[in-house]
C-alpha cells in the first residue's frame, strides 16, 4: 500500500485524537461515566483549550473528505506517486500542527497552517489532472 493511503487512515482518526485531548487532558473539566452519557452536550459546555480541541475535531471532520478524495482520485488517475505521497504526508503534518495551534490559541498561525493544508488537498487534485 502506498504511503498516501496510510496518511488517509491517520487523517481519518485525527479527529478522535483531538476530542480525546478535550475529554481527558485539555483542562480541569474531565469527562467521566456520567458525562459520557451526553458527550456532545458536555463538549459544547467546555471552555478554553478543551473547547478549542473540540473545535479542532470538528474542523478535522470537515477537512477529511476532500483530502481522502484527492488522494484516491490522484492515485486512480495515475498521478505521480512521489508527489501524492509528499502532499499526503505534508497534509497530515500540517493538520497535526493545525490542531496544536488551535488548542494553544494561536489563531493567526492556525489560519496559515489551515491554508497550507488546504493547498495540499487542492494540489492533489492538480496532480490528478496532470496524471
Q: Could you read off the pLDDT of 75-103 as tens digits, one per residue?
A: 999 999 999 999 999 999 999 999 999 99
Domain locations in the chain?
3-130
Structure pTM? 0.93
When the pLDDT of each residue in the chain is averaged and rounded to a whole number, the result is 93
Would you identify the CATH topology of the domain 3-130?
1.20.120
Q: Is the pLDDT of residue 28 over 90?
A: no
DSSP secondary structure letters along the chain? --HHHHHHHHHHHHHHHHHHHHHHTSSS----TTGGGSHHHHHHT--HHHHHHHHHHHHHHHHHHHHHHHHHHHHHTT--HHHHHHHHHHHHHHHHHHHHHHHTT-HHHHHHHHHHHHHHHHHHHHHHHH-
Q: Could you read off the pLDDT of 53-71 as tens digits, one per residue?
A: 999 999 999 999 999 999 9
Amino acid at each position: 500500500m502506498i504511503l498516501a493511503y496510510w496518511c488517509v487512515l491517520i487523517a481519518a482518526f485525527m479527529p478522535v485524537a483531538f476530542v480525546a485531548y478535550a475529554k481527558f487532558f485539555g483542562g480541569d473539566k474531565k469527562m467521566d461515566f456520567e458525562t459520557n452519557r451526553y458527550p456532545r452536550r458536555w463538549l459544547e459546555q467546555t471552555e478554553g483549550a478543551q473547547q478549542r480541541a473540540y473545535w479542532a475535531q470538528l474542523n478535522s471532520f470537515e477537512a477529511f473528505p476532500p483530502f481522502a478524495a484527492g488522494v484516491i482520485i490522484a492515485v486512480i488517475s495515475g498521478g505521480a506517486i512521489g508527489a501524492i505521497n509528499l502532499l499526503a504526508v505534508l497534509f497530515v503534518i500540517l493538520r497535526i500542527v493545525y490542531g496544536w495551534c488551535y488548542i494553544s490559541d494561536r489563531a493567526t498561525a492556525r489560519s496559515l497552517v489551515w491554508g497550507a493544508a488546504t493547498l495540499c488537498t487542492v494540489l492533489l487534485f492538480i496532480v490528478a489532472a496532470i496524471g
